[in-house]
Amino acid sequence: MPPSPLWFGMGNPPTTHPDSSRNPHGALFRTVFRDPAQAGPLLQSQLPEELAAGIDWPTLRHLDGSFLAAADERQGFADLIFAVTIDGRDGFVYLLLDMVRDDRAIHRLVADGAAALLDRWAKDHPGATVLPQIVPYVVRV
């Protein structure tokens, strides 16, 4: 699959994630749900109806989010980033798997991940005056 036009220089998703030996559940989650055909129905069924209705699901495209995991050594978490059109604007779905059920840690990871995503996007879109929307979704196991 070609890289998203929203995301320059990110490349295609790796075939294995760097932490797959330390976090096999996260590796399985990323392998299955990095495919928009798998992630889309999960998200459509779980997001609030009004939010899901504003998402143009055929535009859902997986992006390489390895820069998020590179920022820290997180065990018990796995994340995926998707580019998508939301209400006619560029946006992202940030899907995070939480296997440790630590509310404080998950709130921090969502905030840090969203900030890193926006920083990366802003570097690729220096003239932009409006930031993309980000829809975070946490899957707890």
User: Domain ranges in the chain?
Assistant: 24-140
The pTM of this model reads 0.74
pLDDT band with cut points at 50, 70 and 90 for residue 77: low
pLDDT band with cut points at 50, 70 and 90 for residue 78: low
What's the rounded mean pLDDT across residues 28-41?
85
- Count other Cβ atoms within 10 Å, centred on residue 134: 18
Please give the pLDDT value at position 23.
Answer: 64
What's the rounded mean pLDDT across residues 103-131?
88
pLDDT single digits (tens) 80-108: 889 999 999 999 999 887 777 777 878 88
User: Residue 126 — left, alpha, or beta (φ > 0 → left; ψ -120 to 50 → alpha)?
Assistant: alpha
Structure tokens, 1: 């699959």
**Which of 66, 41, 124, 113 minimizes the C-alpha distance to 90?**
124
The single residue listed with the structure tokens 């495919």 is 35
pLDDT single digits (tens) 3-28: 333 333 333 434 444 444 556 777 77
